[in-house]
Structure 1
């Protein structure tokens, strides 16, 4: 199952060598069993050609997973589903807040905190067991956009201003976070480590990035659903429903959308399967 010197085109326009192992790994992340993964790999392998786009490969894999089992497709589209939280950054802020809240934190979203010099609107404030987090969320709708060093530099100055104001308080922040749905540049990661900021992106820290936390805890955004329409997802996001888990035991919003009982049962079944965490790990 080998095609020599096959290059594929990324969304940025860059050409890279096709990696069978990367595709196989992404299929396994969907929860698909080995036989399903092998069958899909065989189909895609036969359809590959020089210069094929990563988008075309993704769409084909997604369609095959959906045909096999819808929950596989839902998990496979996680990265795309995060982008679908846009175009504004507010649903992403709510999503990060919900991730922390369902991990046992007391959370506030979009609150004003007074710094020593000026006041600051903080995207997410979270606290648990003496841990006091102030987090800034940077949502990008373009896959090619990264967080460069200017972002943690700016956020660190705000974080330090807030600390100076609260330094004599028991609620003084002791962790400054920068969270993005894309990736950090090397300089941004270097500065974050040096300054003491905690950086969280799609795949950083390694094995504990956004994708890993979501999979481990079963905290998927509603945008992964293969059964809800785009209109229905936007309606839910506008009501600050960002996690599938928020619909697990509450059909109020599904009723409000006028979804039939048959569709409702299918959606609830999909959500139930998605909400099963891989293990009991917490943040």
Structure 2
């Protein structure tokens, strides 16, 4: 396996890293016995130039038969990528990530700038500081947010940063501009954002505190990770503006509306409870 060349989502050819796959499986909750079993069953499917996406699919299929909870955690990145095609599910997901950090959040707020009117994806407030947050959702892992994104967001931020009660006086409306994406940033995007004091959060950026870390730390798994729901059922729940697995714990009616059969309900709720772990409560934020 160590000498196998694989194809990344970007099209780049690299050597297959068994170590990275093992680490990913362990982070998903697989013990050493399960890790070795996945590798044993995976090996016959591998061939020169195989895409990393196909490797993921094979590993996921093996995990799903062995442990649904582990498979759900392993599918986190793909689950987040299924929070589309409309922007709202990902924006709500980002708002939930901020809420567990103590922020009060608002989604899809229109504000008047100095020049034009803007829709802000998420406004987050904490300790008297207000943050303007732009959510950049991608449905392919190879898509990166390049330098044009922070440049554009910075120009919007400058237009809405201040409110002018009069020509002589102003009040600060936003103190920081954030960009949150489910993939990665280019080096130039990071360099520009850092220079302009903008806050970036990506799949694994910053090194400690990226989306992946936040989800695993607070069990904020999107319902699209669940192995016991069909694609159609997941989409119907998203259409109801339900995004997190936790929201299903006290909302069996939503599962019924999504078409989940009564006899299948216990297996879905059992997976949700196992996935949420100790953080199995969900509190609706009051306006």
TM-score by length of 2: 0.90
In structure 2, the residue matched to 1:39 is: 37
Shift of 1:141: 1.8
- Report the CA distance between 1:199 and its aligned residue: 0.6
Q: 1:65-214 alignment to 2 at 5 Å?
A: 65-165=63-163, 168-169=170-171, 172-214=173-215
- Tell me the secondary structure at the aligned position of residue 113 of structure 1: strand
Aligned to 1:281: none
Distance 2:74 2:190 in 1: 27
Aligned to 1:18: 16
Alpha-carbon distance in structure 2 between the residues aligned to 1:151 and 1:258 = 39
- Residue 243 of structure 2 aligns with which residue? 242
The alpha-carbon deviation at position 33 of structure 1 amounts to 1.1
Do 1:28 and 1:37's aligned partners in 2 also have CA atoms closer than 8 Å?
yes
Report if aligned partners of 2:162, 2:174 keep a CA contact under 8 Å in 1.
Answer: no
Tell me, in whole angstroms, the C-alpha distance in 2 between the residues paired with 1:192 and 1:5.
38
Preserved CA contact (<8 Å) 1:100 1:107: yes
Query: Per-residue deviation at 1:277?
Result: 5.8
How many pairs are equivalent?
A: 275
1:172 deviation in Å? Answer: 2.7
**Pick aligned residue for 1:50 from 41, 48, 51:** 48
Cα distance in 2 between the residues matched to 1:15 and 1:176: 35
Q: Distance in 2 between matches of 1:102 and 1:198?
A: 18
1-structure distance, mates of 2:277, 2:176: 29
Contact 1:138 1:179 in 2 (8 A): yes
* Whole-angstrom distance in 1 between the partners of 2:107 and 2:3: 49
Whether the aligned pair in 2 keeps the contact of 1:217 and 1:277 (CA below 8 Å) is no
1:259 alignment counterpart: 260
Q: State the partner residue of 2:285.
A: none
Report if the CA contact (8 A) 1:217-1:276 is conserved: no
Secondary structure of 2:180's aligned partner: strand
Alpha-carbon distance change, 246 to 103 in structure 1, aligned in 2, over 3 angstroms: farther
TM-score (norm 1): 0.91
Residue deviations 1:210-232 (CA, integer Å, cap 9, x gap): 11101101001110010111111
Alignment RMSD (CA, Å): 1.9
Decide whether the 8 Å contact of 1:133 with 1:177 is kept in 2: yes
Question: What is the alpha-carbon distance in structure 2 between the residues aligned to residue 39 and residue 4 of structure 1?
Answer: 17
Q: SS at the partner of 1:50?
A: coil
Shift, 1:259, TM fit: 2.6
Q: Distance in 2 between matches of 1:115 and 1:45?
A: 56
Q: Is the 8 A contact 1:215 1:277 kept in 2?
A: no
